């Protein structure tokens, strides 16, 4: 019998399987590359949105600070009249006025302009300088945060910049607040409040994926991260609605009063996949191709060996030997079926072919009876987003911001992977705290500090929210206005997320009992279920050496320390999921 048939079959199957394998791997490589590219684009757009949102928040905060300082001046008659006399009187007359008021006043402390501005610098850390400008005498007095003041005559350059409302520079930007005589309502001068622009650089460094340009109506650049395009070209392109085309970028814009912020992400790098990720995809594809080719070759060799055994048995039967039996491999496939049927045929032939050979192949019918409809978890998120946009269109920005913060928190719970980055975790916690800022307006403030090099550190999600929520439920002093919570990230032998507050706190014996329960993962009190849950998750993922520790805070409240180590997570076999870093889109501006 001709044995060339098995070689031809082997070659055909080898070519077919190899072609299928190459096509399948190519499709998977293309899919993973496109998926990674879209994820990078989505992540970068999210960072751009967060950058624009943070800049808008700082501009709103400084504008509010200027309003608060201006209104506070009118709350104290002594301080207000001191400012009015300072701007209207000559220096000897002003000093005589102060001396007379001081001698008439029974209080030992004279509340004048110096003390007012010193209190303002202490209350608002972002305040860079305060300048008084008298319209009558054209005298300019600048007060700095170190308590010094500089009095001079207004020069032509200052007057020109004042008339153009262009009192800004690369390290500060200002708001002008006019001062009136409350009796005559005559404008005597103005107070120019200058704020530090270094915050823009800090925000840009925090979200460094996109570029940031901050400027005023007069065309003065306050901050420009790239310094690639002249401001005149940007303003001209914006007026002609071709800004994205000129910058070749995705653009987000915001403004407050006379200040504008422009965040743009270059399109040529918005979806650029990092080289390590490309190399990893190619390496994985190569490994799959090599091992797949070896598996196909091994499988075809076994198939060729089994076919040759069947052909040998047939050749012996053709020679007249009906006692030939082909051994079965018990693989349960068609070749075993052929071998079994061949052996049975030989038996039937040996009995003078009195029985008919029957072979039937039964079809397996496995069809789906019905498809169960699933609730789309994004329905609620999309509904919240629609409500948020409706609130913004109706002019209700606060409701819009609350809905946005709620939508970000909700979407993070239903969509994000179990392992996210510190930047995402801090961002979601910030959005969660913003909800309470609306609920307890002007009752507390918060701070989040994290070095830039730690932002991409992986961590299991939602370890901060239960701790912060525990503070709002049990620690916040509802009758006080100076509630404070601070979140910071440090790295010693492991990473630490520190949550400090000035709340009600706990006695030392209760703190010791809580720490014992946390150390042995045995907390059973209902009031601590959130902290117990986070502690149990940290220990389960990173090991028993990590978790939560509670102590006295430096300001009288609690100091909660969350310890974790990303390397330990990988040693335990955990892998980050499909991270979607900051994929909550939208802007509450």
Return the pLDDT at 539: 87
For residue 43, give the nearest of 266, 236, 271 by alpha carbon. Answer: 271
**How far apart (Å, rounded) are the C-alpha atoms in residues 155 and 515?**
65
Yes or no: say if 432 and 465 are a contact pair by the CB < 8 Å rule: yes
Task: Report the C-alpha dihedral over residues 140, 145, 148, 152, rounded to 10 degrees.
Answer: -10
564 phi, psi to nearest 5 deg: -155, 165
| Residue/partner pairs of 222-228 with CB below 8 Å, 24 or more apart | 222/168, 222/169, 222/170, 222/172, 222/173, 222/197, 222/259, 223/170, 223/197, 225/201
* Beta-carbon count within 10 A of 443 CB: 16
Return the pLDDT at 528: 53
- Is residue 87 classed as helix, strand or coil in its secondary structure? helix
Tell which phi-psi region holds residue 499, choosing left (phi > 0), alpha (psi between -120 and 50) or beta: beta
**How far apart (Å, rounded) are the C-alpha atoms in residues 125 and 198?**
12
Return the pLDDT at 317: 75
Beta strands in 271-421 (DSSP E): 419-421
For residue 229, give the nearest of 246, 244, 242 by alpha carbon. Answer: 246
431 token code pair: 């959005």
**How far apart (Å, rounded) are the C-alpha atoms in residues 463 and 497?**
10
Q: pTM here?
A: 0.48
**How far apart (Å, rounded) are the C-alpha atoms in residues 361 and 338?**
12
Q: Three-state SS string across 175-243, please?
A: EEEEEECCCCCCEEEEEEEEEECHHHHHHHHHCCCCEEEEEECCCCEEEECCCCCCHHHHHHHHHCCCH
Distance of CA 481 to the CA centre of its chain: 29
Return the pLDDT at 54: 92
**How far apart (Å, rounded) are the C-alpha atoms in residues 266 and 584?**
20
46 token code pair: 């999210």
**How far apart (Å, rounded) are the C-alpha atoms in residues 556 and 510?**
15
Return the pLDDT at 106: 62
| 128 sits in which H/E element | strand 127-134
DSSP conformation letters of 249-297: EEEEEEEETTEEEEEEEEHHHHTPPPHHHHHHHHHHHHHHHHHHHHHHH
Q: List beta partners, residue 215.
A: 221, 260
What does pLDDT average to in each consecutive run of 10 residues of the chain (589 residues)? Answer: 56 81 89 88 89 92 92 87 88 84 69 85 90 90 87 89 86 91 89 91 86 90 88 88 88 90 88 85 87 81 74 74 70 70 73 43 33 37 55 64 62 64 88 78 86 91 87 85 90 91 90 89 60 87 89 89 82 41 37
Beta strands in 521-567 (DSSP E): 547-552, 558-564
| 143 sits in which H/E element | strand 139-144
């Amino acid at each position: 019998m001709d044995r060339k048939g098995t070689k031809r079959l082997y070659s055909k199957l080898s070519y077919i399987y190899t072609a299928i394998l190459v096509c399948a791997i190519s499709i998977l490589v293309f899919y993973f590359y496109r998926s990674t590219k879209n994820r990078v684009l989505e992540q970068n757009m999210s960072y751009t949105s967060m950058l624009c949102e943070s800049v808008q928040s700082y501009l709103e905060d400084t504008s509010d600070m200027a309003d608060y300082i201006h209104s506070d001046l009118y709350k104290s008659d002594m301080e207000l009249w001191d400012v009015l006399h300072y701007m209207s009187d000559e220096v000897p007359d002003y000093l005589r006025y102060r001396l007379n008021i001081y001698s008439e006043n029974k209080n030992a402390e004279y509340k004048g302009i110096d003390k007012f501005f010193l209190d303002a610098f202490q209350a608002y850390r972002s305040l860079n300088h305060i300048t008084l400008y008298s319209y009558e005498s054209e005298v300019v007095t600048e007060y700095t945060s170190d308590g010094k003041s500089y009095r001079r005559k207004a020069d032509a350059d200052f007057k020109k910049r004042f008339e153009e409302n262009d009192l800004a520079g690369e390290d500060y930007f200002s708001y002008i607040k006019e001062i009136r005589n409350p009796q005559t309502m005559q404008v005597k001068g103005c107070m120019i409040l200058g704020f530090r622009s270094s915050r823009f650089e800090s925000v840009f460094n925090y979200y460094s994926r996109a570029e940031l340009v901050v400027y005023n109506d007069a065309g003065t650049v306050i901050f420009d991260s790239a310094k690639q395009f002249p401001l005149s070209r940007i303003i001209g392109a914006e007026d002609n609605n071709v800004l994205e085309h000129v910058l070749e970028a995705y653009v987000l814009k915001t403004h407050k009063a006379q200040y504008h912020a422009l965040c743009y992400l270059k399109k040529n790098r918005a979806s650029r996949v990092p080289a390590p990720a490309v190399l990893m995809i190619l390496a994985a594809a190569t490994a799959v191709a090599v091992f797949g080719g070896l598996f196909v070759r091994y499988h075809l060799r076994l198939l060729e060996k089994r076919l040759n055994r069947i052909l040998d048995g047939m050749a012996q039967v053709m020679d007249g030997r009906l006692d030939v039996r082909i051994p079965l491999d018990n693989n349960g496939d068609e070749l075993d079926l052929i071998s079994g049927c061949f052996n049975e045929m030989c038996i039937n032939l040996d009995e003078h072919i009195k029985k008919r050979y029957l072979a039937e192949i039964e079809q397996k019918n496995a069809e789906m009876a019905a498809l169960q409809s699933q609730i789309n978890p994004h329905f609620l998120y999309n509904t919240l987003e629609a409500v948020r946009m409706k609130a913004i269109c109706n002019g209700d920005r606060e409701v819009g911001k609350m809905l946005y913060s709620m939508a970000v928190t909700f979407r993070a719970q239903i969509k994000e992977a179990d392992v996210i980055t510190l930047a995402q975790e801090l961002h979601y916690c910030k959005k969660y705290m913003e909800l309470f800022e609306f609920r307890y307006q002007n009752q507390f403030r918060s701070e989040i500090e994290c070095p830039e090099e730690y932002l991409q550190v992986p961590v299991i999600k939602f370890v901060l929210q239960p701790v912060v929520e525990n503070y709002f439920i049990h620690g916040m002093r509802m009758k006080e206005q100076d509630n404070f919570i601070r979140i910071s990230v440090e790295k010693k032998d492991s990473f630490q997320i520190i949550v400090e507050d000035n709340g009600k706190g706990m006695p030392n014996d209760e703190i010791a009992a809580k720490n014992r329960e946390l150390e042995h993962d045995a907390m059973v009190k209902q009031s601590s279920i959130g902290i117990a849950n986070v502690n149990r998750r940290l220990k389960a993922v990173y090991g028993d050496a990590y978790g939560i520790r509670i102590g006295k805070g430096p300001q009288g409240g609690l100091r909660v320390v969350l310890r974790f180590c990303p390397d330990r997570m990988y040693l335990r076999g955990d892998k980050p999921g499909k991270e979607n870093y900051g994929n909550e889109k939208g802007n509450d501006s």
